[in-house]
Every structure is written in C-alpha cells, then in structure tokens.
C-alpha cells in the first residue's frame, strides 16, 4: 500500500500499537497518545524509532514542535543530540534555512543509508504541505524516493 504525494509514490506501512495503561507521564505534548513499547511508555514517534533500531538503524525523532532531536520522552531531559556529520550535511542541504519545519518525523541511518519516516495516525493525521516540500527538496538534493516511508499507525486498545 503506497501513497502519492504531489505525483511522487511513497511506500506506506501500517502498525497497530498497544496503548500505555500504566502510570501517567508528565509531559504529554498536548495530549499525544501514550503507547506501550515492551512495558515502556512512548509517543508513536519514539515507538517507531525503537522498532527501526531493532532492525539495525540508528536515528532520532525530529521534534519540529520543540525544534530538537530526541530519542526519549521530553521528560527524560536527555542531552542535546548531535547527528553524524553525513546526516547533518544532507539535512543542511535539504533545509538550507537550518529549521526543522517540514522535516519528516524520523531521521534514520544504517552505514551510509539514510531514511526519512513520517508517522501518521490513521484517520487523524494528513501529510502537510511543508512535508511534501521537504520531500521534493530532498529528492532534488539526491535523496532517493526509496529513502522515504509513511508509517501509518493506530492504537490497539
């Protein structure tokens, strides 16, 4: 199942994710759903990041809301994440203004392979214009269409 974004066909996957039923977390980012990853409460972006790490990827959540890279919930106060140089260089070419706006949720890498993944909650989220523009700039800067994926998800009550 793929999705067409402004004439560009992007791979689309789907995941049912279990809901967190444990102790409430401190910062829900405006009531983002809290999900259960092996007994750990996480947002969908961090859940997916862990799933890709299981497949051998390194990566970060590009938190465009608070303009920083994350691998943990905000309440964990993790130190500033510095991306590998080859990732930073590619990102700086795509987003020449240095801002994260439009950047896809996950930036993943394995050796020299780069992957961008955008999470969308089924029936609730849509791809934004800034994300299509990011995709188009990335392709113009030599990133292949195969390096992009839409990760559609839904809570599994």
Hey, what are 87's tokens? 């990732």
pLDDT in tens, 97-138: 888 989 999 999 999 899 999 999 999 999 999 999 999 999
d(CA 73, CA 156): 21
User: Is there a contact between 107 and 63 (Cβ–Cβ < 8 Å)?
Assistant: no
Give the mean pLDDT of the chain. Answer: 95
d(CA 110, CA 100): 21
The dihedrals phi and psi of 138, each to the nearest 5 degrees, come to -65, -45
Hey, what are 112's tokens? 């020299």
- Confidence tier at 73 by pLDDT (50, 70, 90): very high
Hey, what are 3's tokens? 């999705």
């Amino acid at each position: 199942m793929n999705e067409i974004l402004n004439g560009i066909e992007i791979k689309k996957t789907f995941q049912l994710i279990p809901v967190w039923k444990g102790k409430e977390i401190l910062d829900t980012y405006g009531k983002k759903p809290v999900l259960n990853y092996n007994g750990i409460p996480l947002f969908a972006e961090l859940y997916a990041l862990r799933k890709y790490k299981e497949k051998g990827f390194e990566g970060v959540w590009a938190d465009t809301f608070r303009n920083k890279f994350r691998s943990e919930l905000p309440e964990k106060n993790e130190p500033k994440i510095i991306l590998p140089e080859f990732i930073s260089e590619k990102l700086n070419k795509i987003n020449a203004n240095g801002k994260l706006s439009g950047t896809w949720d996950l930036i993943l890498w394995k050796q020299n392979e780069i992957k961008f993944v955008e999470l969308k909650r089924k029936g609730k989220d849509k791809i934004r214009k800034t994300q299509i523009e990011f995709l188009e700039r990335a392709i113009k800067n030599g990133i292949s269409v195969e390096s992009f994926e839409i990760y559609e998800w839904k809570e599994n009550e």
